[in-house]
Structure 1
Amino acid sequence: DWVAPADVVTDPGGFETHSVLDTVDSLSQPRVALDGGAFMFVEPTRALVAVDVNTGADVSLAAGIKANMACARALPRALRLRGLGGQITLDLAPMPKKDRRPFETALRQAFRA
């Protein structure tokens, strides 16, 4: 007989209690919330997956790098949960040239993990 681990909820109504159905429904939406009020849109097309990063209400240059770094951390999971892959095109929030290398490093590390 199979026995559920202690941290697995098997009681009736567990999906509703833990918002599982809401989370599954959110995967059909392109908008993905990021840290700090930023967000990204993950939208598949025939040719590629388009990712558009937005800073939200904050339009400062610092907000751009924060949103882009949050995107780097969240993108692998967003793609995996949606079953997306292939060519991915990023439309990042504006950031200074000096921050491109740290962003690329963070993105590579996130995909490796």
Structure 2
Amino acid sequence: MDLEMLSSDDSACCTTDDETRKSHHSEKTKKDLITRLNRVEGQIRGIKGLIEKDTYCDDVINQIASTQAALNGVAKLLLDRHMRSCVVDRINEGDLDVVDEVLITIQKLMKK
């Protein structure tokens, strides 16, 4: 399979300037990520409110699980964009170290 075919039109491109790594996401991707994070932020505030109101523990735990799932959704979207752009670009440039980097990142995500 040609790795260039995996790159999407909505992809981000990770760059390294002066040893600082950055991502450049499309406006659509940024909007989606920010919308999801705003939702997670609201869920966190809601959990805090439940605890302040002495809500039944099981109900609070269910809200925490929902919030974790939403945050995992943000991570999945970022990983998808990263794989389809930054990783493909670096492999096409002959930089295979990116594979180890991605595997470490996936291991960190799976610990949770």
TM-score (ref. length: structure 2) = 0.31
Say which one has the larger Rg: 2
Tell me which of the two structures has the higher relative contact order, counting C-alpha pairs closer than 8 angstroms and 6 or more residues apart: 2
Structure having the higher strand fraction is 1
Structure having the higher helix fraction is 2
